[in-house]
Amino acid sequence: MLTRLDGRAAIITGGSKGIGKGMARVFAKHGASVLIVARGEEAAAAAAEEICASGGTAAHFATDVGAPDGAEMMAEAAIGRFGRIDILCSNAGIFPATPLRDMTTADIDAVFDVNLRGTMLAVRACIPAMEKAGKGRVIITSSITGPITGYPGWSHYGASKAGQLGFMRTAAIELAPSNITVNAILPGNVMTEGMHEMGEDYIQAMTAAIPMKRIGTVEEVAYTALFFASDEAGYITGQTIVVDGGQVLPESLVAL
């Protein structure tokens, strides 16, 4: 049983849908006040309302984490609403697919701006408040795609997700003296709104490639984030946990 997060404030980027919404729900259930951040105000507000309706504490803030001042405004909103920032789940991400030979610089910039630059800016924006609190927890949602595996159409996405880990390792060293840990989760395939948009054929093909023969749930990723955010994980930094039902394990289709 992990120590509850009562009295702590968590920012969840991409908290209006999918994995981030699951994180917001789980963190609120364990006592944290959560700020749900996304570009779309309506879905962010609805996610916060759902949490409040079930007895939790939540607010929302609409911004683009990849925009130059988006993350700073997000951190200011968290301080304004809750007076502190203890936890950042840098989870907002996009995954448009484009074959490399057709990829434009605009395609690359769009993915890097949200997934990589957005993560770096969000972490940077939260440092002063975490240092004031005397400790902090940063949990980055990376992916198996990039750090471990590849998938046609996602060369920019994979590069951004691997880049998050490169960023994490140096950030973890720089922030360790301030008692701020920086860790990452590498999900495999998780059932989210974004996954639904990939279509039924993609979902079936992926399910067949997973030793556990099922797509993961947002809660299974969210509880991993909860562990990284806990007091009990206070001596773990710069590390990754793969949450994928064994998807990266088979050497070949024969292994399945």
Q: Which residues bind ligand NAP (CB under 6 A)?
A: 13-14, 16-20, 37-40, 43, 64-66, 91-95, 114, 118, 141, 143, 187, 189-190, 192-195
CB 83 within 8 A of CB 57: no
User: Around 168, how many Cα atoms within 13 Å sit in the side-chain half-sphere?
Assistant: 27
Q: Which C-beta is closer to ligand NAP: that of 183 or that of 192?
A: 192
Q: Hey, what's the torsion of the CAs at 30, 70, 62, 18, to 10 degrees? A: -50
Q: Which C-beta is closer to ligand NAP: that of 143 or that of 224?
A: 143
Shortest reach from residue 138's CB to ligand NAP, in Å: 14
Shortest reach from residue 176's CB to ligand NAP, in Å: 24
Shortest reach from residue 137's CB to ligand NAP, in Å: 17
Q: Which C-beta is closer to ligand NAP: that of 136 or that of 146?
A: 146
Shortest reach from residue 223's CB to ligand NAP, in Å: 15
Q: Taking the alpha carbons of 236, 242, 246, 249 in that order, is the dihedral positive or negative?
A: negative
Q: Which C-beta is closer to ligand NAP: that of 56 or that of 188?
A: 188
Which of the residues are catalytic?
157
